[in-house]
Amino acid sequence: MSKIFQIIYASTTSYLYTEKELNNLLEQSRTANLKIGITGLLAYKDGNFMQTIEGQEQKIMELMLKISRDTRHHGIILMFKGFIERREFSNWSMAYLNLSGDSSEGFSDFLISDKSEHEKKISAGKAKTLMLNFRKIM
Ligand SMILES: Cc1cc2nc3c(=O)[nH]c(=O)nc-3n(C[C@H](O)[C@H](O)[C@H](O)COP(=O)(O)O)c2cc1C
């Protein structure tokens, strides 16, 4: 079995999304992901996204290209990109969490883009931990 490829990124929306807009995006993503074996988690908080996508490498790279061209958000910061032993969100074609209004720390730390290479490596570890912790509250 080939290894699983995973990307974690953070991004920003140009305005605050309504629950309806988020649901539309989610529905579109879930349907498409299910067809091509992509799983993951989409977290949204007050105008920022953080998403994990995982699956076959080429499918992930193709999806990431589409996502990076999507005008519904901008300022994408790549937090992690690489092979992992097993899926971290195997039960979800795209799990979803809306943390708007939640005061929990961590999410906004990733949205500062001018980080050194060293800091970026630390952030990748933190991003992974943050996303995995979200799994516990779903
Ligand atoms: C934050 C965000 C997350 C997205 N996540 C996914 C996803 O997991 N799967 C997906 O198919 N599309 C996702 N999309 C939508 C894609 O950017 C794109 O609109 C979709 O793949 C359809 O592209 P196509 O019409 O060129 O096939 C996401 C968009 C945004 C803004």
Q: Say yes or no to pLDDT of 56 above 90.
A: yes
Which amino acid residue places its CA nearest to atom 5 of ligand 1?
Answer: 29
In the CATH scheme, what architecture does the domain 4-136 have?
Answer: 2-Layer Sandwich (3.30)
Q: Is the pLDDT of residue 117 over 90?
A: no
Write the burial class of residue 91 (CB in 10 Å: 0-12 exposed, 13-18 middle, 19+ buried). exposed
What is the CA(118)–ligand 1 centre distance, in A?
30
Q: What is the mean pLDDT of the chain?
A: 88
Q: Which 8-state DSSP code applies to residue 101? A: T
Written as one letter, the residue type at 128 is K
Alpha-carbon radius of gyration of the chain: 14
120-124: average pLDDT: 72
What the block records as the tokens of 76 is 């994408």
pLDDT at 1 over 60: no
Give the residues surrounding ligand 1 with Cβ less than 6 Å away.
25, 29, 32-33, 42, 49, 51, 53, 63, 66-67, 70, 72-73, 94
Instruction: Fill in the DSSP letter of residue 5.
Output: E
Burial of 98 (0-12, 13-18, 19+ CB in 10 A): middle
pTM: 0.90
pLDDT for position 43: 93
The 10s digit of each residue's pLDDT in 80-114 is 999 999 999 999 999 999 988 776 666 666 665 56
Nearest CA to ligand 1 atom 3: 67
Instruction: Give residue-wise pLDDT tens across range 9-27.
Output: 999 998 888 999 999 999 9
Tokens 């579109």 correspond to 28
What is the domain partition of the chain in residue ranges?
A: 4-136
Q: Which neighbouring-strand residues pair with 41? A: 52, 95
- Ligand 1 centroid vs 64 CA: distance in angstroms? 8
Q: How confident is the model at residue 8 (pLDDT cuts 50, 70, 90)?
A: very high
Shortest-distance Cα residue to atom 9 of ligand 1: 29
Alpha-carbon span 84 to 5, nearest angstrom? 6
